[in-house]
Structure 1
């Protein structure tokens, strides 16, 4: 794929690339130089922030309670007697 650098140094990422990476308006990319190559990396924090708040805790009062139901006693929890 080829893109053209605009007058102000901007490029447009092809739609296929944006869709494949789940990039939307406001997505953060990391820009790195590798010799004469430019490497763009999708920020992991961006993916996490978009997923935050999308999952319901049906039947649980807190995340901790849901995790205990799945994993059992957490370190630091008091022992049941």
Structure 2
């Protein structure tokens, strides 16, 4: 696959690349140089940062209780001391 650098230094990533990485308008890419190579990396931290704090743990008093439920530990057991 190839991409051509436009007059203003822009390139268009081929659609198969965008689709494979789930890139859409507004996706932040990190640009790095490795010798004579340009490396583009999808900024995963950005997606995590945007989602942080947006979801509620309905039915659980706190994050620890939710994690115990996911792990199948007893609800009233202290942290890390439950038996499955």
Candidates 75, 79, 82, aligned match of 1:74: 79
Distance 2:58 2:7 in 1: 52
Residue of structure 2 equivalent to 1:7: 7
Deviations 1:3-42 (A, max 9, x none): 1101110001111111111112221111111111111111
Aligned pairs for 1:2-81 within 5 A? 2-49=2-49, 53=54, 57-71=57-71, 72=73, 73-74=78-79
TM-score, normalization by structure 2: 0.67
Structure 2 residue runs of 5 or longer lacking an equivalent are none
Residues of 2 paired with 1:47 and 1:18: CA distance?
Answer: 16
SS in 2 for 1:60: coil
Runs of 5+ unmatched residues, structure 1: none
